[in-house]
Structure 1
């Protein structure tokens, strides 16, 4: 029986916040200053303009295939995955990315040396249940690691839910929903160490 661990991507494996700053630099001509290094959301971390209308549409064009193949890894994440993989766990990525960018996401992960061969793109549809719940129910991993508490909604109790508590300022990872999470960790490296100690 395959021992699967499902991992979110942005905020767990890859650093979307750094990639966002790079995209902003391409858009504006200058890398943004860091406003709050402990901010959860990229828009709060960087000193950037709140865009709307045509300028926002122009900025969003930059979030293309090239962008999704060039997001940098979070410190320690590759090594954490290699440790889990070496202990016999199959790692899969379950990301709220649009389906047509799944190939770019997989290439990005493989280029950084992550031992991941499957990426599931769920999109980000609002609702009472996590857009990832259906995929998690289908692949039945032993554990699901994410950094966004609302994405734990609807995950069956058979799967261990591990929440990464990064960026405390403005974090959505608060409130009564925390009590339903199986465990919390500072980052994937901390989860990996904890998980292997339980094995």
Structure 2
């Protein structure tokens, strides 16, 4: 809000002020060109006016840069906080259940693939926070730069933790699915072997 108000102030100041300065310069030039007896004083006054106007424009530009930097800093803090909350919230959503049978385990595995796809979409936000932290930290020094780096480290650590949880769950689900598939294959093989034994026993034994 403050930045928007200053933009309006800067625009009004630059527009109206430039018109008035141009008018004053035109009047001074006319007096000097017309051979006014005080033309030396007019020229001195004109130079002072233009110098004061240039200083005012420089002050406005400096203030605009300060407000832009403050805006970028506030936006970084907000974005870093929101991304950190998203990462931690996603981390809490990683379940422990592995399924009690093959069908359940395969269903959980599919759900986890979709979950990881959603998690991967956060990588862009994490990268933006990391890039902004590096850019802003280079523009500041001392405690503020350290604050920026500390916030970036929190986000990076939460991102690494979330990815680690996802990888561990993917591995556990994969192991669980393979185990259930092995047990099913073993069961089917035992049933087949039992069937073969029954067929052998049903045949007439040689006399």
Question: TM-score scaled by structure 2?
Answer: 0.21
Question: TM-score scaled by structure 1?
Answer: 0.21
Greater CA radius of gyration, 1 or 2? 2
